[in-house]
Structure 1
Amino acid sequence: MNFSYWELKNWFTDIDYTIVGSGIVGLNCALALRENFPESKILILEKGILPQGASTKNAGFACFGSISEIIDDLKSHSEEEVTQIISKRWNGLQLLRKNLGDETIDFKPYGGYELFLTEDESTYNECLQKLPFINELLKPLFRNDVFAKEVDRFAFHGIKEYLVFNPFEAQIDTGKMMNALLQKAIANNILILNKVEVTSYLEKKGSVEVVLGDFSFSTKKVLFAINGFAGKLTNNEVKPSRAQVLITEPIPNLEIKGTFHLDKGYYYFRNIENRILLGGGRNLAFEEETTTQLGQTELIQNRLEELLKEVILPNTDYKIAHRWSGIMGLGSAKKPIVEQLSDHVYCGVRLGGMGVAIGSLIGQELADLVK
């Protein structure tokens, strides 16, 4: 890398904290570090033009788990673990709203819905049967019932009679959220460099050497906030998981408003003004979708189009405007990993597809590890 004296002096000298990843976690971590250490020099490194993983690519769901997801989690986690995870997601959403403001992130409290395909008899029956139990489990946190049965009023096709409604769920504008965080970081004298990939690091006595290909520099601390890309650099139990998405052209008189879940959260859709965004389908090819490569596959895109045509918009003309994908960080447990890896290295990863909900909180917790 052909850096000048000025570039080396201003961007790569006397750095206190280097954060790898400029997504929700990385930016919130940087802002919390600025508050804790007002005079410090903070540098964020991002390998993409924009945050590369999921922070600018997610569907903008301000959610904490559909009823079928929660029931599924209870099969591998204790009741206490599940309620703690949901509490963290809920508190993270409140922190996001407090930090940026509802108007800034275009927060719309339309509520969330789970629908069940006609053939999904067992999940449907289990959710309706356990609905009172789940409400009781969550009552100490929400002080009210979270889930309720509602008859479908959206004219979906091929689904069971009842939807499960959650009034505490909302939607946001992901782009506006990230733009506000980036502006806030810059206003707080936080340096952000894009198209810079950390290839390795070497811990030394009192510092860390950060390697960027054929160039390296020294920093006092390194904090990894790279979620789905974390496995290689942090040796943590984090698996990348690609999520594929499509969005329609504007649809006149679209009456669908809210956030919607289908098939234990493996599919999700929402309105963005008068468009429909639909994503998911990694359950069709778990192995193939365990990847850090962005892109789409015919198998999943065909299934998304099938759901759009046959279930969501059965009697509506529409056109697909755009397709994309993002990379989530998943693992065998739902609890995020926020830990000190060594004397001067830390990480906040494995957000489990809930970055909007818990990203702000994980960023704060990551910064608070630094003494």
Structure 2
Amino acid sequence: MLSFWESDFYTSYDHIVVGSGIVGLSTALSIREKLPNARVLVLERGHFPTGASTKNAGFACFGSLSEIAADLEKLSEEEVLKLVQLRWEGLQLLRQRLTDEAIDFRNYGGYELLRANEVGVLEQMDRVNTLLKPLFGQPVYSLVNERIESFGFPNSRVEALVFNPFEAQIHSGRMMKRLTALATSKGVEVMTGAQVVAFEEQSGCVEVALANGPKLRAGQLVFCTNAFTRYFFPHADLEPGRGVVLVTQPIEGLKLKGTYHYDEGYYYFRNYENRVIFGGGRNLDLKTENTTDFNINDRILNQLKTDLQELILPDTRVEIDRVWTGIMAFGPNKKPIVERVSPRITMGVRLGGMGVAIGSKIGQQLAEIVCQ
């Protein structure tokens, strides 16, 4: 039974946000920026953000050459430019809010490894550079084959190397810690271990039921649950996508410095100090990886280990320190879903594996909707 004080002050809010990842906290923070006196509560079912916000590899990127070329097969040039702009502006907003120092932002640039069956994408480089020039003011992608050997990649496996000077890396743990601290400093309340099991829209509010907890009320309810959205909206146009990530033990004399992609961005690796963080391979087994289960797919992990030894760090003794998974959400194209579901319920989901880049802007867009 709730006390008078609990009932009076702990169960009623102006806005409740479900999900404490990048989008959820950015939404709550954006609402407080627009409505400084609003009571805003963020609900998180786990101790940490559940999906991928603290489980990603820490890439501050907006798409490799082959990724954008693939997007152009599904979307118009105008749509692709808007998508890249959303990612780029999202990264700038993240940096502005949290500071580069706080998130360990390091602009070493990014590279894409092209193998024999992938070099054809170079024919699209001029088109993509022309498309993106209004946003960046200069060509984004350039060929730097002379660096293949300096990074230690085998010439027998890597035929071309494409450079992007705008790509960077961050520390995802520091980012989320800082984002949480900033949100709470602005008056946002965060409740962990609070699993939403049901909600009901009523005439003057939305009632939210928690597992083993009290019922809460809010004027507006916002879902920032990405891959887990189908728990609440079974017909949402998205599919979960599990990603495997590993980190090596420290490697003496590591030559890698920056962020790297190959196979249309399905594989990605970077240095963290003198370690390598490496993830991906979802496309090896898309059906199995279409899940919200956090188990590790041994087939994918074994391929990561093989590529780590044969492609990324040949002739180098490597030991794996840790392996984990994160859960993303994808759709028929890379466009996120940001929409009002009903007069008091809104969602911002389906980030397409680009949560670091677009999460802050999606939160800003959601705040625009719910604060109208």
Q: Which TM-score band applies after superposition, normalised by the shorter structure?
A: over 0.9
The amino acid that maps onto 1:154 is: F
Cα pair 2:140 2:165 within 8 Å, conserved: yes
**C-alpha separation between the residues in 1 aligned to 2:4 and 2:278?**
48
DSSP 3-state at the match of 2:329: strand
Match of 1:264 in 2: 264
1:48 Cα deviation after fit: 1.1
**C-alpha separation between the residues in 2 aligned to 1:355 and 1:3?**
37
Match of 2:140 in 1: 146
Query: Which of 162, 168, 171 does residue 169 from structure 2 map onto?
Result: 171
Cα pair 1:278 1:304 within 8 Å, conserved: yes
Match of 2:16 in 1: 18
Cα pair 1:18 1:42 within 8 Å, conserved: yes
Match of 1:363 in 2: 363
Unaligned runs of 5+ in 1: none
Match of 1:286 in 2: 286
DSSP 3-state at the match of 1:362: helix
Identity %: 48
Q: Scaled by the length of structure 2, what TM-score is found?
A: 0.95
The amino acid that maps onto 2:241 is: S
The amino acid that maps onto 1:315 is: D
**C-alpha separation between the residues in 2 aligned to 1:83 and 1:227?**
23
**C-alpha separation between the residues in 1 aligned to 2:7 and 2:307?**
52
**C-alpha separation between the residues in 2 aligned to 1:365 and 1:225?**
12
DSSP 3-state at the match of 1:317: coil
Match of 2:346 in 1: 346
Match of 1:217 in 2: 216
**C-alpha separation between the residues in 2 aligned to 1:148 and 1:240?**
33
DSSP 3-state at the match of 2:100: coil
DSSP 3-state at the match of 1:70: helix
**C-alpha separation between the residues in 2 aligned to 1:244 and 1:355?**
16
Unaligned runs of 5+ in 2: none
Cα pair 2:205 2:218 within 8 Å, conserved: yes
1:5 Cα deviation after fit: 5.1
Cα pair 1:55 1:174 within 8 Å, conserved: yes
The amino acid that maps onto 1:191 is: E
1:49 Cα deviation after fit: 0.7
**C-alpha separation between the residues in 1 aligned to 2:280 and 2:2?**
42
Deviations 1:27-66 (A, max 9, x none): 1111111111111111110011100001111111110000
Deviations 1:285-310 (A, max 9, x none): 11110111112111010000000010
DSSP 3-state at the match of 1:269: strand
Matches within 5 A, 1:149-228: 149-151=143-145, 152=148, 153-157=150-154, 158-213=156-211, 215-228=214-227
The amino acid that maps onto 1:49 is: H
Deviations 1:163-183 (A, max 9, x none): 000001000111111000011
Match of 1:57 in 2: 55
DSSP 3-state at the match of 1:205: coil
Query: Which of 32, 35, 53 does residue 34 from structure 1 map onto?
Result: 32
**C-alpha separation between the residues in 1 aligned to 2:87 and 2:100?**
17
The amino acid that maps onto 1:139 is: K
Cα pair 1:11 1:191 within 8 Å, conserved: no
1:219 Cα deviation after fit: 1.3
Matches within 5 A, 1:24-103: 24-103=22-101
**C-alpha separation between the residues in 2 aligned to 1:39 and 1:52?**
28
1:259 Cα deviation after fit: 0.4
1:132 Cα deviation after fit: 1.2
Deviations 1:170-218 (A, max 9, x none): 0011111100001111111211111111112111102101121354222
DSSP 3-state at the match of 1:133: helix
**C-alpha separation between the residues in 1 aligned to 2:123 and 2:38?**
54
Cα pair 1:206 1:344 within 8 Å, conserved: no
Give the alignment's Cα RMSD to 1 decimal.
1.3
Deviations 1:214-238 (A, max 9, x none): 5422211100111111123134212
**C-alpha separation between the residues in 2 aligned to 1:284 and 1:5?**
56
Q: 1:8 to 1:241 in 2, by over 3 A?
A: farther
Deviations 1:278-333 (A, max 9, x none): 10011111111011111211101000000001000111112100000101111112
